C-alpha cells in the first residue's frame, strides 16, 4: 500500500512539473516570437535640441552659428561643422514635428538636408587633397544611418501633407511626406 501511495504521489508530482514546464516554455515561446525588440541600428548619438525658433536665444544662436562657420576652417573642419549643424537641425525638426509646428519643422528639416549635403562635398574635397578621411567616412555613414532612423520615426506620427493657413495670407500645402522621403534619399545617397 505504501508503494502504491508513493507511485501515485510521484505521478501527481510529475504532472505538476510537466504543467509548469509546458507553461514556462509556452510563455518563453510567446515572448520570443510575439514581442518585437527594438534596437537602434546605429550607435551614432544625436545631440540634445538647441534653442528653438521663437525664443530670443534662437536669434543669438543663429549669429553664433554664422560665426562658427569661419572658426572651422579647412575641408575636414567644414565637414565637422556641417555634420554638427545637420544633427542640430534634424533634432530641432523632430522636436517641432512632435509639437505639430509643421512649418517651422519643415524649415529645420531643409536646413538639416542642406548641411548634410555639404558634409559629403567637404569630405570629397579632403580626399582629393590627399587627407586621411577613413574615420570621417565611417562617422558620416553612422550619422546617415542615424538620420534615416530618425526621419523614418518622424514618418510614423506626422501627416503626409498639411494645409498651412496663416492669418492674413493665402493658405499653402506642406508636403511633409515628400520632404521626409527627400531627406532619406539624401542620406542614403552617401
Which residues are CB-neighbours of 97 under 8 A, at least 6 positions away? 105, 154, 157, 158
Measured from the Cβ of residue 108, the count of other Cβ atoms closer than 10 Å reads 24
Reported as a single tens digit per residue, the pLDDT across 154-184 is 999 999 988 888 888 888 889 999 999 999 9
Please give the Cα distance from 79 to 70 (Å, whole number).
Answer: 12
Confidence at 73, pLDDT banded by 50, 70, 90 = confident
Reported as a single tens digit per residue, the pLDDT across 75-103 is 999 999 999 999 999 999 999 999 999 99
Please give the Cα distance from 139 to 149 (Å, whole number).
Answer: 15
Higher pLDDT, 44 or 154: 154
Reported as a single tens digit per residue, the pLDDT across 2-19 is 555 555 554 555 566 656
pLDDT at 149: 96
pLDDT at 16: 61
Whether pLDDT at 57 is above 70: yes
Whether pLDDT at 38 is above 50: no
Residue pair 123/137 in contact (Cβ under 8 Å)? The answer is yes
Confidence at 49, pLDDT banded by 50, 70, 90 = confident
Exposed, middle or buried, 39 (CB in 10 Å: 0-12/13-18/19+)? exposed
pLDDT at 22: 59
Cell of 3: 508503494
Whether pLDDT at 30 is above 60: no
Residue pair 91/45 in contact (Cβ under 8 Å)? The answer is no
Confidence at 39, pLDDT banded by 50, 70, 90 = very low
The model's pTM is: 0.75
Distance linking the first and last C-alpha atoms of the chain: 81
Reported as a single tens digit per residue, the pLDDT across 106-144 is 999 999 999 999 999 999 999 999 999 999 999 999 999
Please give the Cα distance from 131 to 76 (Å, whole number).
Answer: 9
Which residues are CB-neighbours of 83 under 8 A, at least 6 positions away? 115, 116, 119, 139, 140, 143
Amino acid at each position: 500500500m505504501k508503494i502504491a501511495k508513493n507511485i501515485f504521489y510521484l505521478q501527481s508530482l510529475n504532472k505538476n512539473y510537466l504543467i509548469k514546464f509546458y507553461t514556462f516554455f509556452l510563455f518563453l515561446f510567446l515572448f520570443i516570437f510575439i514581442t518585437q525588440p527594438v534596437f537602434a541600428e546605429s550607435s551614432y548619438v544625436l545631440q540634445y535640441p538647441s534653442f528653438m525658433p521663437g525664443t530670443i536665444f534662437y536669434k543669438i544662436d543663429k549669429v553664433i552659428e554664422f560665426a562658427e562657420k569661419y572658426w572651422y576652417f579647412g575641408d575636414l573642419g567644414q565637414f565637422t561643422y556641417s555634420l554638427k549643424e545637420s544633427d542640430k537641425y534634424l533634432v530641432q525638426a523632430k522636436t517641432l514635428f512632435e509639437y505639430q509646428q509643421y512649418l517651422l519643422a519643415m524649415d529645420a528639416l531643409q536646413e538639416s538636408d542642406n548641411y548634410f549635403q555639404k558634409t559629403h562635398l567637404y569630405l570629397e574635397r579632403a580626399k582629393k587633397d590627399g587627407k586621411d578621411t577613413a574615420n570621417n567616412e565611417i562617422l558620416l555613414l553612422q550619422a546617415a544611418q542615424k538620420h534615416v532612423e530618425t526621419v523614418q520615426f518622424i514618418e510614423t506620427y506626422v501627416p503626409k501633407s498639411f494645409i498651412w493657413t496663416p492669418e492674413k495670407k493665402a493658405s499653402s500645402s506642406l508636403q511633409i511626406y515628400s520632404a521626409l522621403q527627400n531627406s532619406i534619399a539624401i542620406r542614403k545617397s552617401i
